């Protein structure tokens, strides 16, 4: 991860730990249900951040390893594990593109809201496949975009300013192709949406980037505003966020 991106995550570590979106119990319970892990499962959570999914999975499995490239995020995760009294989860520094684990080491690999930060996604997915045992599963939950170029361009323009580590949010068709190319067999894929305050795009961005984001949004045409779901709800301007959840298996 580039140092400028790491510095952003270091600055935001405490915010991620307390973020109501990232802590959302219903969202985490949904992913635990998708994973349906066995009590004996060995789990790797890639891009664990402050550990929300790793901590949600820990009571249901034998062991969870949370992996992230930002030490400040891992410290927040480890502190929360201690507060919960969880002894079967650990948090380690590492890179999604070079997993330091033996072949077939895990029954389940998860990645929640982190894949759009990975620079070499084909390499990272190949690593996921490698560290899964045959029959092991990969659970992905990430920001996405609809098929077609318009929202893809507009959304990613905003998000690269919001966070310098942002690479790209991808539509479902790209995810299907990427998973297949990595040697994973797609079992299930769903998309979903959320309407959120527009202010969320720039409230945690650096001031210069926030100003550029506001300028981009102000220049949208009426057609672009409709495509982005931008509309006022009372006095609050809101916009659509797109997401994707996928479950794939190593043959």
Those residues whose C-beta lies under 8 Å from the C-beta of residue 51, and which sit 6 or more positions away, are: 45, 66, 73, 74, 76, 77, 78, 80, 81, 89, 91
Predicted confidence at residue 195, as pLDDT, reads 92
Mean pLDDT, all residues of the chain: 92
> Are the C-beta atoms of 246 and 142 separated by less than 8 Å?
no
Q: Cβ(134)–Cβ(250) under 8 Å?
A: yes
Per-residue pLDDT, 232: 83
Residues 6+ apart with CB under 8 A from 136: 104, 106, 107, 108, 109, 249, 250
- Residue 144 is predicted with a pLDDT of 98
> In 19-68, where does DSSP find H-type helix?
20-23, 25-35, 52-57
DSSP per-residue letters across 102-141 = -TT-EEEEEEES-GGG-SSHHHHHHHHHHHEEEEEEEEEE
Residues 155, 169: contact at Cβ < 8 Å? yes
pLDDT digits (tens, 9 = 90+) for 152-206: 999 999 999 988 889 999 999 999 999 999 999 999 999 999 999 988 778 878 8
pTM of the predicted structure, to 2 decimals: 0.93
In the predicted structure, residue 11 carries a pLDDT above the cut 70: no
Averaged over 211-237, what is the pLDDT?
A: 91
Evaluate if residue 73 carries a pLDDT over 70. yes
Taking residues 200-229, report their average pLDDT. Answer: 91
Lowest mean pLDDT across 78-82, 113-117, 154-158, 232-236: 232-236
Q: What is the mean pLDDT of the segment spanning 123-133?
A: 98
What CATH fold (topology level) applies to the domain 3-147+166-195+242-249? Rossmann fold (3.40.50)
Q: Which residue has the higher pLDDT, 100 or 14?
A: 100
pLDDT at 13 over 80: no
Residue 61: which H helix or E strand, with range? none
**Helix pair angle (207-218, 149-162), 10° resolution:** 160
Per-domain residue ranges of the chain: 3-147+166-195+242-249
DSSP string, 72-84: HHHHHHHHHHHHH
Give the model's pLDDT for residue 91: 98
Which residues touch 139 (CB under 8 Å, ≥6 apart)? Answer: 31, 34, 35, 108, 109, 110, 111, 245, 246, 247
pLDDT of residue 70: 92
């Amino acid at each position: 991860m580039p140092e400028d991106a790491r510095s952003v995550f270091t600055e935001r570590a405490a915010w991620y730990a307390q973020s109501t979106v990232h802590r959302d119990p219903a969202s985490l319970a949904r992913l635990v249900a998708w994973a349906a892990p066995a009590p004996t499962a060995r789990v790797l959570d890639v891009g664990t951040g402050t550990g929300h999914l790793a901590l949600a999975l820990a009571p249901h499995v034998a062991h969870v390893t949370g992996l992230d490239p930002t030490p400040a995020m891992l410290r927040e995760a480890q502190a929360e594990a201690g507060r919960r009294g969880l002894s079967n989860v650990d948090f380690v520094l590492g890179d999604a593109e070079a997993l330091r684990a033996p072949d077939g080491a895990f029954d389940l690999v998860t990645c929640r809201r982190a894949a759009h930060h990975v620079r070499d996604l084909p390499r990272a997915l190949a690593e996921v496949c490698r560290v899964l045992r045959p029959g092991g599963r990969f659970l992905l939950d990430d920001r996405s975009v609809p098929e077609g170029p318009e929202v893809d361009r507009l959304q990613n323009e905003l998000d690269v300013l919001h966070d310098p580590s942002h690479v790209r949010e991808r539509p479902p068709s790209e995810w299907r192709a990427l998973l297949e190319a990595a040697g994973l067999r797609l079992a299930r894929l769903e998309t979903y949406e959320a309407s959120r305050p527009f202010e969320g795009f720039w409230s945690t961005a650096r001031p210069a980037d926030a100003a550029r984001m506001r300028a981009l949004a102000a220049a949208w045409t009426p057609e672009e505003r409709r495509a982005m779901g931008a509309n006022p709800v009372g006095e609050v301007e809101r916009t659509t966020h797109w997401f994707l959840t996928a479950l794939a298996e190593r043959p």
